[in-house]
C-alpha cells in the first residue's frame, strides 16, 4: 500500500495541479506542466523523495476530492517516523472550512495519533477527548486514551477509561492490573491500608488476578502475618496453577515460620498429584526433596523429563543423581543462566523475569513460564 502511494504521488500531484489550473481558468486544460511539478519530478528521479514530496504537496490543493491523498500521505510520514511532517499535513487538512465533517473527524483522529507518536500526550489527549462525542470514534478514541494513560502510568484515568471501554465494547479490560499498579506504588510509600483496599478492588474486578494475591501475600509476609500470607499464596493455585512456581518458596517459609511444615508437605504432595506441568526448577525440586524425600523428587523430575524434556528437568535430575556429573551439571547450569524463563503468549517476547505488562507488545498478563525443551 505504501509503495503504491509513493508510486502514485507524482501522478496525483500532476492531476491535482491540472484540475486546479482548470478550475482557476475555466478554460481547456493546458498541456504544459508546471515548472514546480517538473522540479518535483526531477527530485523524485534523483531519489530525493523528501524534497519531491514537499513540492508535490504544495501542488495539490486540499479539498474534499484530494482529501484521501493528503490523509494517506500524513499517515505515511508518521509511519516513516517523520511526525512533524505528518502533523503539518494533517493540520492543513483540518484548516479547510468546507471539509466534510466526517472527513474532518478522520483527519483529527490521525492528527491525534501524530501527537501521540511525537510524545505530545497532552495535545493527543485533548483531540481524542474531543472525538468522544462522535459515536463512531468512542471506542477507537478511548482505546488510544488508554494507551496514553498506560504509558504515562496515570492509573486512575486508565481505570475510568477502561471501565467505559468494557461497557461499550463488552471486552474484558486489564482493570485489575491497574489497581495492582496503584497498589505497588502505595506499597513503596508504606501505605498498607491503601494497598489492601486496592488489592480488594483488583480481586473484586477480577477474582482470577494472580498478581493481586501475590501482592497481598507478600505484604502479609512483610508484616509477619504468616497465616494471612498462606491464604493469599494458596489462592494463586485456584486462580492459575501455572504461577505456583512463583509462590512455592515463600509458602514453604510461611509454614516453616508457624511450625506447620507437615501441612506444607501435604499441600505439596497434593499439588504434585493435581498438576503435571509444573516447571521443575531447582529450588522447587529442592523443596520436594527436603519435604517429601529424595525418591519423590526423582520420581517428579523423571516424569517431567519423559513428558516435557528440558534443560531444567535434566539439570534437576543431575543434581539428584549420586553419580559424579559435576561438570555436566555446571555446564547446564551455565546454559540455564543465559536462558529466558518467561515468554509472552501474544508476541513471543522472552525474559528472565516475570513482567505483568509485556514490554514488547504492551499486553497484560500474557507472560508465562516457558515449558519444554526450548525453555525451562
Ligand atoms: Zn508481548
Q: How far is the CA of 165 from the centre of ligand 1 (A)?
A: 21
Q: Average pLDDT in the 10-39 region? A: 56
Q: How far is the CA of 43 from the centre of ligand 1 (A)?
A: 41
Contact partners, residue 147, CB within 8 Å, separation at least 6: 116, 362
Q: 6-15, 61-70, 239-248, 302-311: lowest mean pLDDT where?
A: 6-15
pLDDT of the residue at 260: 92
Q: How far is the CA of 274 from the centre of ligand 1 (A)?
A: 29
C-alpha cell at 273: 498429584
pLDDT of 345 over the 70 cut: yes
pLDDT tens readout for residues 274-319: 887 666 676 778 888 888 888 888 888 888 777 777 777 777 777 7
Q: How far is the CA of 318 from the centre of ligand 1 (A)?
A: 33
Q: How far is the CA of 149 from the centre of ligand 1 (A)?
A: 19
- Name 223's bridge partners: none
**Distances 7 to 54, 68, 149, 267, 375 between C-alpha atoms, Å:** 15, 15, 38, 67, 46
Q: How far is the CA of 147 from the centre of ligand 1 (A)?
A: 15
pLDDT of 32 over the 60 cut: no
pLDDT of the residue at 374: 52
- Among 161, 67, 158, which Cα is nearest to 105's? 67
Q: How far is the CA of 337 from the centre of ligand 1 (A)?
A: 22
Residue that is written with C-alpha cell 555446571 in the block: 330
pLDDT of 370 over the 50 cut: yes
The model's confidence at residue 3, banded by pLDDT at 50, 70 and 90, is very low
Q: How far is the CA of 366 from the centre of ligand 1 (A)?
A: 7
Task: State the Cα–Cα distance between residues 157 and 150, nearest whole angstrom.
Answer: 9
Q: How do the domains of the chain map onto residue ranges? A: 174-275
Instruction: Report whether 157 contacts 163 (CB < 8 A).
Output: no
In three-state secondary structure terms, 3 is: helix
Q: How far is the CA of 128 from the centre of ligand 1 (A)?
A: 25
Q: How far is the CA of 82 from the centre of ligand 1 (A)?
A: 26
**Rounded to the nearest 10 degrees, how much is the dihedral formed by the CA atoms of 314, 316, 318, 320?**
-150
Q: How far is the CA of 129 from the centre of ligand 1 (A)?
A: 28
- Name 351's bridge partners: 342
Q: Average pLDDT in the 205-230 region? A: 96
Q: How far is the CA of 349 from the centre of ligand 1 (A)?
A: 5
The model's confidence at residue 334, banded by pLDDT at 50, 70 and 90, is confident
Helical H runs in the chain?
Answer: 2-25, 35-45, 49-59, 67-79, 83-94, 101-117, 121-131, 138-151, 155-169, 175-189, 192-205, 210-222, 226-239, 244-257, 261-274, 282-292, 294-307, 311-320, 326-337
CATH of domain 174-275: 1.25.40.10
Amino acid at each position: 500500500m505504501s509503495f503504491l502511494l509513493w508510486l502514485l504521488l507524482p501522478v496525483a500531484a500532476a492531476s491535482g495541479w491540472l484540475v486546479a489550473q482548470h478550475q482557476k481558468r475555466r478554460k481547456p486544460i493546458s498541456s504544459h506542466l508546471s515548472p514546480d511539478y517538473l522540479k518535483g519530478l526531477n527530485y523524485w528521479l534523483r531519489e530525493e523523495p523528501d524534497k519531491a514530496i514537499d513540492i508535490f504537496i504544495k501542488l495539490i490543493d486540499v479539498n474534499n476530492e484530494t482529501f484521501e491523498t493528503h490523509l494517506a500521505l500524513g499517515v505515511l510520514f508518521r509511519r516513516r517516523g517523520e511526525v512533524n511532517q505528518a502533523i503539518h499535513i494533517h493540520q492543513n487538512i483540518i484548516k479547510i472550512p468546507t471539509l466534510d465533517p466526517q472527513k474532518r473527524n478522520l483527519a483529527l483522529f490521525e492528527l491525534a495519533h501524530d501527537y501521540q507518536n511525537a510524545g505530545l500526550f497532552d495535545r493527543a489527549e485533548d483531540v481524542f477527548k474531543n472525538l468522544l462525542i462522535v459515536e463512531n470514534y468512542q471506542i477507537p478514541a478511548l482505546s488510544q486514551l488508554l494507551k496514553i494513560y498506560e504509558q504515562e502510568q496515570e492509573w486512575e484515568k486508565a481505570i475510568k477509561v477502561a471501565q467505559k471501554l468494557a461497557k461499550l465494547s463488552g471486552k474484558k479490560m486489564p482493570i485489575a492490573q491497574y489497581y495492582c499498579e496503584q497498589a505497588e506504588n502505595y506499597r513503596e510509600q508504606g501505605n498498607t491500608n491503601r494497598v489492601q483496599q486496592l488489592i480488594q478492588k483488583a480481586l473484586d474486578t477480577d477474582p482470577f488476578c494472580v498478581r493481586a494475591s501475590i501482592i497481598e501475600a507478600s505484604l502479609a509476609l512483610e508484616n509477619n502475618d504468616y497465616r494471612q500470607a498462606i491464604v493469599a499464596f494458596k489462592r494463586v493455585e485456584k486462580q492459575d496453577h501455572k504461577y505456583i512456581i512463583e509462590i512455592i518458596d515463600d509458602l514453604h517459609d510461611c509454614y516453616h515460620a508457624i511450625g506447620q511444615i507437615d501441612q506444607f508437605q501435604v499441600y505439596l504432595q497434593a499439588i504434585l498429584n493435581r498438576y503435571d506441568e509444573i516447571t521443575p526448577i531447582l529450588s522447587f525440586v529442592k523443596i520436594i526433596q527436603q519435604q517429601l524425600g529424595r525418591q519423590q523428587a526423582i520420581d517428579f523430575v523423571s516424569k517431567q523429563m519423559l513428558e516435557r524434556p528440558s534443560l531444567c528437568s535434566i539439570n534437576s535430575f543431575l543434581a539428584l543423581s549420586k553419580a559424579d556429573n559435576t561438570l555436566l551439571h555446571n555446564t547446564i547450569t551455565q546454559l540455564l543462566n543465559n536462558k529466558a524463563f518467561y515468554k509472552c503468549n501474544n508476541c513471543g517476547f522472552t525474559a528472565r523475569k516475570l513482567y505483568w505488562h509485556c514490554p514488547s507488545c504492551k499486553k497484560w498478563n500474557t507472560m508465562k513460564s516457558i515449558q519444554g525443551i526450548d525453555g525451562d
